[in-house]
Amino acid sequence: MQNIPFRLGWLVLPLILLQLFFSGSQTPASSFKLVMPTSVLHKDSSLSRAGSSTKTWYKNSVIYTLDVEVFYDSDGDGVGDFKGLTQKLDYLKSLDVDAIWLAPFQPTPNKDDGYDISDFYGIDKRFGTFNDFSEFISEAKKQDIRILMDLVINHTSDEYSWFKASRKSKDSPYRDWYVWKSKRPANQNKGMVFPGVQKEIWTLDSLTNEYYLHRFYDFEPDLNAQNPEVVAEVEKIIKYWLKKGIAGFRLDAVPFYIEVPQTKGENFEHEYNKLVQMRNWVKEVRPDGVILGEANIEPKENMNYFGDKGQAMNMMFNFYVNQHLFYALASGEIKSLTKALEATKDIPQPVQWAQFLRNHDEVDLARLSNSQREKVYKEFGPDKNMQLYDRGIRRRIAPMLHNQKRLALAYSLLFSLPSTPVIRYGEEIGMGDDLTLKERESVRTPMQWINAPNAGFSTASKTVRPVISQGEYGYSHVNVKSQEKDPSSMLNWVRQLIHLRKSNPHIGQGDWKILDSGSPNVLVMQYQWNGSGLILIHNLDEDAQKVEIEAKDAGGDMLFDLISKRQNEANEKGLYQFDMPGYGYAWYRIGNEPVLPNKQD
């Protein structure tokens, strides 16, 4: 791989002239640069905002997720902070993201990277003050960027004052804020979230000689959501942060928050009405506020979490499609991916899926069959050190795919699936991972800004987590500054792909169906919205594929290439014919209109 490991000459992606893309040639990276037609480069707000409305703004948006701790350090103490994040808002605006999802930033002993919260109402002093936070919120608003925050209410840190009071005495007023049992539960070693690392979900506490429940680590005791006092406190927390300027929440561990604790088995009952209740709390303060749920569930459960009329969570991560997407990338076959898409298709109109390639955790493959999982392991995480919790892979997407064309394909798929795309910080420049770090910390290294000590993240002699400095993903090869100067870099490609996605609201707003491509390796999706349509084609195989689509199925006898600005007509047999190169993909608008009709839904 080259020193700059993402050259668009190698990628042959659909943001260059189409004849170069479809040629399938092995043109050296230095032989040509990214070429974008003026009409694509021009940022027309009527296009990028088309189809959005205040209450469903998320449907034609892009979400960027980051951890303040490792994004940018403004004061040289080795830890990222809100002042540093504020200084980088112009960069985030240049990506044209609509919302930033922040990892937990409240006070914490930091045994679980901030997810062990010790004060729901505070700011971790390492990240700055409330004034710093408020300034960040104010400046983000000026940039028209909404801020979402992690809402971690399934559990607290064992150092939270509530738990300290709870464990002191069985008569403590905070005793029932957590879940206690006098006898050893039968399911003590069942249902662990982190198998292989976590040994139990009930731990005997020495002070009162009773067991407390913790679905996660033993230093993260579960709150008792059956207790009305706890529920009232959760409402208070939600409204507190909304009034501070937060636009919504990424709700952590949704199934565990709404489950009814039991001492037998590992399949607990769930109280889905709690999600409707939470949604109403949000709407009381902010009608356009959102709840984005983390719920790795089967398709048959979707309506329980969205609500039959969309009255529960606004959005939910589509873990089911994500897992089958990775199998499709590993195998080159689309069958399981198309089944997963169809299985998650029917959801209420107001809600939306959120799709991602990588998040801050492992690539979870638990819902694949054993043979499918082994295929993904073999392709993307063959070493045991790359695998985690007996179900996933703890790597970033660039080193995992380690193939520029396949990486380009993966990102085109991300932006073309019926969902709101979510991008993890550093993915836009192709950052790597550090497998010497424990568990999920391998993908949580500091952002790489420039080719300078600590990648420009901090001037400290020691950073909160090591910066990747060696190998092809070291900051001398992968950093924002060098890619901003290079028109053919991954960063500039992602910027254009975001604009392409947002200029076509069909994907987030419209109706869709999968067309027969005549190949087990090529996914063809058709979108319809406001009298306009799209045809998106992706070849997941490394070998070239011939594709035929009937004009009557495509929805018209003319396709307009959104990249090369050329028309593609069906032949005399009423067929569109495409020679798709290995890992090739293309975006077409149905008809001969180069510009999207400016209609609002």
List the catalytic residues.
252, 294
Q: Is residue 180 within 8 Å of residue 210, measured between CB atoms? A: yes
CA distances from 109 to 69, 112, 157, 174 (A): 14, 8, 8, 21
Contact present, 292 and 319 (Cβ < 8 Å) = no
194: closest CA among 78, 281, 113, 249?
Answer: 113
Q: Is 498 exposed, middle or buried (0-12, 13-18, 19+ CB in 10 A)?
A: buried
Nearest to 496 by CA among 593, 582, 428: 428
Spatial CB neighbours of 209, under 8 Å, sequence gap ≥ 6: none
Q: Which two tokens stand for residue 441?
A: 């910390």
Angle subtended at Cα 64 by Cα 61 and Cα 66, rounded to the nearest 5 degrees: 160
Strands (E), 75-220: 99-102, 146-151, 180-181, 202-205, 210-213
Q: What's the number of CA atoms in the CB half-sphere (13 Å) around residue 521?
A: 21
Decide: 448 and 457 in contact? Cβ < 8 Å.
Answer: yes
What would the DSSP string read from start to end of 66-88?
Answer: E-GGGT--SSSSSS--HHHHHHT
* Among 525, 575, 523, 571, residue whose Cα is nearest residue 550: 575
Question: Within 13 Å and on the Cβ side, how many CA atoms surround 89?
Answer: 20
Q: Strands, E, within 330-441: which ranges?
A: 352-356, 363-364, 387-388, 392-393, 420-424
Rounded to 10 degrees, the C-alpha dihedral 84/85/90/96 comes to: 160
Query: On the CB side of 356, how many CA atoms lie within 13 Å of its CA?
Result: 24
CA distances to 105, 127, 415, 453, 456 from 75, in Å: 17, 10, 36, 15, 12
Q: Which of 400, 410, 147, 435 is nearest to 286 (CA)?
A: 147
Q: What count of other Cβ atoms lies within 10 Å of the Cβ of residue 183? A: 8
Query: Computed from CA positions of residues 391, 302, 235, 139, in that sequence, does the dihedral angle turn out positive or negative?
Result: positive
Rounded-to-integer distance, Cα 334 and Cα 368, Å:
14
Number of other residues whose CB lies within 10 A of the CB of residue 550:
13
Count CB-CB contacts under 10 A for residue 470: 11
Q: Residue 423 phi/psi, 5° resolution?
A: -115, 130
* Rounded Cα distance, 25 and 31, in Å: 12
| Distance, CA of 61 to CA of 53 (rounded, Å) | 11
The number of helix segments (H) and strand segments (E) in the chain equals: 21, 24
